[in-house]
Amino acid sequence: MSRWHTSPPDGAPPFAACRRGYHHGNLKEALVAAARLLTTERGPHGFTMAEAARLAGVSASAPYRHFKDRDALLAELARRGFELFATRLREAATGRGVKEALSAMGRAYLTFAREEPGYYDAMFGWNNPGRSADSGAFASLSEAVARLMPDGTPAGQARLLALEVWAIAHGLASLARVGQPGAGAPPPEDVLEDAVSRLLRVT
């Protein structure tokens, strides 16, 4: 038996919430909640539309009232994840200086990956065949960096710095999710802090 039947992963809605959403008349929300749980447990490629329907407590045909297929359901899950992700990045940068903001945004990235595995895997572990990869989250990061940089900083330089912070945070988050680099390694947050400091010294 999969563990989400009795103890959902951290950050995921409880199992009962999927069916409760349906019984309250919101089938779409119940299906998204089910997809989030299943993606957390198995990854975005590890479940079928029928399994999402079963977890939501509906017939196998019911999901097609809102989603034409599993890709459409995952696209909605990824969209919501990116919206939440972008909000957290913006909030992390608010009221901080350049170094502090970049570090805080990087930490927000790591925290999101750790606390929201269902969203994170739908966002980055699945190739959406029908939508641009541009999520708006990188735009939020770039805009925040541009606002924090000194007057006269070329736009390209701010964007490059944002991309470098994004790449470092994403790499650290991905390693942490598979238990790497293992015991004895410094926490991802410490590695990120050091990397941001080094980037700013050469920027």
Single-letter code of the amino acid located at 30: A
Residue 115 has pLDDT above 70, yes or no: yes
* Calpha distance 122→19 (Å, rounded): 21
Q: Determine which helix (DSSP H) or strand (DSSP E) holds 118, and give its type and residue range.
A: helix 117-124
* Dihedral sign from CA coordinates of 10, 27, 61, 126: negative
What's the pLDDT at 7? 43
The pLDDT value recorded for residue 61 is 92
For the stretch 11-22, pLDDT in tens is 455 555 555 544
Query: Confidence band (pLDDT; 50, 70, 90) for 71?
Result: very high
Task: Check residue 6 and give its pLDDT.
Answer: 36
Among residues 160, 163, 169, 164, which one has the least CA distance to residue 120? 169
- Mean of the pLDDT values across residues 134-160? 77
Q: What tens digit of pLDDT does each residue of 1-14 get?
A: 333 333 455 545 55
SS3 44: coil
Mean pLDDT of 129-137: 57
Question: pTM higher than 0.85 for the full model?
Answer: no
Q: What confidence tier does 122 reach under pLDDT thresholds 50, 70, 90?
A: very high
pLDDT band of residue 155 (cuts 50, 70, 90) is confident
| Per-residue confidence (pLDDT) for residue 2, from 0 to 100 | 38
